[in-house]
Structures are given as C-alpha cells and as structure tokens.
Structure 1
Amino acid sequence: MFKSNHLIYLLEDDSDDAYLIRNALKNDKIMSHSIMTFDSLEKLVKALSNFKPDLIIMDLNVTDSDGFNTMLTVKHSAQSVPIVVVTGMADEAMGDRLIQLGAQDYVPKSELTSSLLQRVIRFSKERHHLLQILENSANRDALTMLYSRKALDSKLDELVKHAERYGEKFAVLFIDLDNFKPINDQFGHDAGDQLLQHVANRLTLFSRSTDFVARFGGDEFVTLLPHVKTRDDAEQASKQQLNAICDDFYVTDSDGQAQQVHLSASIGYALYGEDGECGVELIKAADAAMYQNKQNR
C-alpha cells in the first residue's frame, strides 16, 4: 500500500518524550512521517524560516520558552502550517485556549497513544486544509483558482515588510501570453478560458511550495519568489516557468471540436532592493522587463 510521506517538526526538549512521540508514529499504516526534532524554540523558528513542514508537534514548555508564549511564537513563524500541541499539562481550559490561538488540536502526554496521535494528526491536517480553502476562496481568481489581484497586493506588502525587517530579497516574475488574443478570437472565449486554466495548472505545477502564483488580470500572471537572492536565481526561475507554459495545448472550440494550439509567452523579473522598494515599483519593473524581452524576440 502506498503511504504518503509527511515532514513533521517536533519541538520537544525531553529526549524520552521525543522518543515516545517518534515511536508512536512509526507504525502508522496510512502515513509515513519524517520527523525533525528541535530541543529549543530558537532552533525551531530558525528551521521554519528556511523550510516549512507539513505539520508541527510541539510542547509548550521548552528550555527557552514556556506556556502560551511558545504557542504564539510558533504560530507566527509557522504561518500556514497546522500545529498539534502535546504537553504535560492536562487542562481542558488550556486546550480550548490553545485552539483559539491557532492550534489544530491538543493532546495531554498522559493520554498519548499511537492510535490517538495518528488520528489527531490526520484530522488536524484535514481540518486545516478545509479551513484554508474557506479562507482562500475570497482570495482566489474564480476561473484559474490562482491567487487574485487583491491577494497578490496583500502578499507583496507582506514580503516587502519581511524583507525590510530581515534584510532579505525576493523576486517578482511578470508573465504575459503573447498569442492569447488570436487564439481567443479564433476558437471562442470558452477556449480562451480553458487555455488560461491550462497555464494556471502549469505555473502551479512548476512552482515551489513557497512561491505565490497569481492572475494579475486578463492573460497576465505574476509569481512571487521568496528567498530568491540573486539575478541568476530569478533568471533560472523565469526560464523554468516560461518553458512550462510555452507548449502545445488542447482546447475545445465553439463548435465542440478539439483544437491544438501552441502558446508562447514573455516574462520579466524584478528583484527587491535592486529594482524597487515597494510592491508597485517591483510590479512596474517586472512588467517593463517583460515588455523589453517581448520586443527583443
């Protein structure tokens, strides 16, 4: 039987308790788990800044933090990662408070069993996924299900503030479909909509989990690339996305007939700190770079 693999970050400074939790997940027949253990909040936060796991299991009291402060710090650093609290304090009121603060579930160590922890993890991931769908529905483009222009503006502001605070860089890619209008005019608007959906699927497929892909409007798309520090990295990402969408696609025309169309596109990028200091400047610079590349072809 195929078992999906999930990366779990475990915050636990007691080696015996950490062993019990790892052992409890070892015989999971539905999911396999890769577990990275951290014995301090500082180490966990540093790891979260580099790579996000599928789930976090955490104790509240560790060497450098305790109680709700631990929960609040992890929640802030984890952003969209589901959190399960496993702690030595068996207090129902505390469990309710932790869920209000953003935990998906709470398990006292005195009640911990393999079957309970495995079930809690599965239900926590499913519940978190459903909540994300509800939260994101207002921020999604109805046709492509990519992020909307409104969500893009919000994310750009967030990345700029993060970059200003921590001295980091990120890149903005701007994509325009070269021959979308002729295809749309020849085969009909439904075919054009299908083509936009194909492009959205390709952009999503060939993006990292940390990338933010949005429909800017019409046949234009924007991808935000956190943690991209150099022009070489941005250039490589641009080529990868361009290669993903410059391809042959099948659409259904207004007569219900399948039609093969070849799509071409142009792309440009901007790097925070070099091409702009705010979202508006970065979008403008990436758009200008895209237009220049289009003219040079």
Structure 2
Amino acid sequence: MRILVAGGERVDAGKTTFTTGLLSRLGAVGFKPRAGNDYWFDHDDYRHAVSEGRLYGKDAKRLADASSTACDADFDPEDLNAVHRLWRPSPGPDTGLVGQARRQFVLDRVGESFVVNARADVPESARKALPLADAPAVESVAQLDEITRQLHLPMFEGFAERVRELQRETGGTAVVESYGDVALPIRGLSFDAVAVVEPGRMRAYDGERFLKACEVAGGSAREGRLEVHTDDVTDLADPKATARLPALPSEDRRDPAAVARAYADAFGELLAVTEA
C-alpha cells in the first residue's frame, strides 16, 4: 500500500504531524522527496545539520525518526529525502532564479551532490561544512534548468525506485509527503489513496483519480507545469471522505503514537479509501 499526503495550505498545513502519526499507525516508512528550509527562519535546524557536515530539515528528521521507530530500523533524513533546498530572505522586489519574491534560493543538496546559486550569499558556515568547492554554480534560469535535467530529474527517478525497493524489503506501506501546497512531489509512483491535510481537516481521495486530476490540472508532461498546486487538483476531484483533525498540544505533535491516537478516526477514513 502507498499513500500520498499533500497540503491544502502553502505553510503549516500539518502534513508532517499527520504523516508521522500515520507511520506509527501503520508501521510504515515515510518519504519526503523534496524539502527545504530557511537559513534565517530555521537557523537552529540549519546549524545542527551543517555542524554534522550535512544538509537536511526538521521535517525529514521527524520522518526518519518516526520511520525508524515504526519499522524497528535505522533511517537517516537523507535516506528518505532526495532533494533539500536552502533558502534565505531576499529583501526587495527581485524574484531571483526560481521566482520567489523576497526569498533567495541558496543551494540544493541532490542526493550526495550540491548545486550552488552563484548569485546568492552562501553562508560561510555552509562553505566550510559542505563539499561545495566543486559544486556547479548556476547564474541563470537556463543553467538551473539544465542542472535540473542532469541531476534532479534522474535523482527523482531513482528515488521512486528506492520507495518501491524499501517497500519490498519491509513488506509494508510507504507514505510519501509532499511539500508546501504542491499536489504531487514525485512522478513515477502510484498511490492507493491521497490525504489532503490542512488545519482542522483531512480530505481523502482515491489515488488513481487524484493522479489523473494532476495530469489534467498540469497538462501533459511535455507541455504542462512542473508543479501543480493542490487546490487546482481538488477542484477537479471529489473526496471520498472528509474527517476532522483536532488541534493538538505541542508535546502530542512531537509524539507519533499520540498523533495516531488523536487522529484515529481520520486515519480510519483514509484507510477505508484504500480498501474501496
């Protein structure tokens, strides 16, 4: 069984809390193909990772910890997160290489490789801790697109196979978490059900119909957009079930087993969709 968790809001939708609880409920492995954090707003998380000569975020760390407990295994964040992007604030109207106003793409970790934005202010701590000396530096959208074709896309193709491989090894369920309000974080995988999560509510969709709606919303793979937002997809598909998600205190949000208990009804509705 394979389940996708997508967000109905761009930030703070509650995807990772929901996903960790689902991992506890199912004894499953959780994956986050794409992730990112901000040098300014997530500085403690950034410092902790680079102090180890690594780059990952708190969401991937939470998934790795929850997966390790659920499956009695040992996962690192990088095992479950193919690409991590570091951002930093960028005052002013310039949207930079990736079209984000007031937000600057600094560098990407793509598997064990790195890509640097030549126009960004790369933190000295990153230059010292990470192997950036030989990393390709991009100065234009065209260069970034070419690097994406060379590095990112093959990484995602291999990562889809890694999801399937780990499922075969564990004989269990995989839960794939998206990022922001992007409907589909990786191609090449089918899903039995999709949970769209937002504060206070989960909507459960048939996996095949949700993927078809992604195709319609985004156009063809050749001509369409690389990213399709969740609300564009949910406008085209009807949920099979809807469930309330109660507000949780911070100590419960950090405990996957507590989340599994609090969200038991919602998880039951979601799993019923996989069996329909």
Q: TM-score, normalised by structure 2?
A: 0.31
Q: TM-score, normalised by structure 1?
A: 0.29
Structure ID, larger Rg: 1
Larger helix proportion, structure 1 or 2?
Answer: 1
